[in-house]
Structure 1
């Protein structure tokens, strides 16, 4: 069972992420019983079949960098978990998707970063609205995750506004006016 960082603590995780093999059809792939996070293509093709599982909290959807989160807007009320895949270190589209889900589409459920999730980016995932960080299984030891968790407190006051704290620092700090 993989470890995740969720709401400031390390937890064991029992969710499985479904990846389509080459040649598999999103409309016909069978989603086994259990807790699954399926690609948007599978959700889109099998929405009617999978909706009850999503509403029961045992099925989530993950978005790739090229997926438009607005296409999921009508389904967000039934999805308790949405994940965003980070396929490579240099692919930052997931940050924009998370911000759109939280700020523009009003998603209030669990938002999870999956894929090539790297320790030096954990703070930025949280700033964009992710509340769960799921590194690839085996990438970090529990000790490394604990150190990463402790490092999230390194920045006490971010300058910029973001999803986690909308007001920029200059609006949060009161300065004395001199005459």
Structure 2
């Protein structure tokens, strides 16, 4: 089971990913939190229940599509399909620095302890660790790093 680290501590994952294969068929929850894959999230633009949803992007997807909704988006998850794919680092920097995203920016996928410090410097403040990663080792890796300069989402 994967562990979520947010703001330097292990927390419950209150924003599960809706898998892509279920994305088109599953109804949105009436109340609750879920992360929708970008195509589904865009399809639901007129659905009032979408306000309770976050979004997750694959590395090839353009974060610029989210710009109009950034002030109200609580969570954006950026995917690392393999640890050697660094495109999500660039997506994170764009969202934080160019567009001023203030909500939770979560790393998902092949997230390893050795990457956490670099991810935090790029703007990530939450990390869904790969299942084989030790939460204690991950917290130790984050322990001495700088805290993000942006305000936290309430």
Q: How does 1:25-104 map to 2 (within 5 A)?
A: 26=24, 29-33=26-30, 34-49=32-47, 51-54=48-51, 58-104=52-98
SS at match of 2:3: strand
Match of 2:143 in 1: 153
- What is the TM-score normalised by the length of structure 2? 0.84
Runs of 4+ residues over 6 Å off in structure 1: none
State the structure with more CA Rg. Answer: 1
* Aligned equivalents of 2:41, 2:53: Cα separation in 1: 10
**Aligned CA distance change for structure 1 residues 20 and 123 (closer, same or farther; 3 Å):** same
Q: Deviations over 1:136-159 (max 9, x none)?
A: 4x333xxx2112211223567xxx
Higher relative contact order (CA 8 A, sep 6+): 2
Per the normalisation by structure 1, the TM-score is: 0.73
| Structure 2 residue 3 is matched with structure 1 residue 6 | no
Which runs of no fewer than 5 residues in structure 1 stay unpaired?
157-162, 166-179
> Judging changes above 3 Å, is the alpha-carbon distance between structure 1 residues 25 and 146 closer, same or farther for their aligned structure 2 residues?
closer
Give the count of matched residue pairs: 148
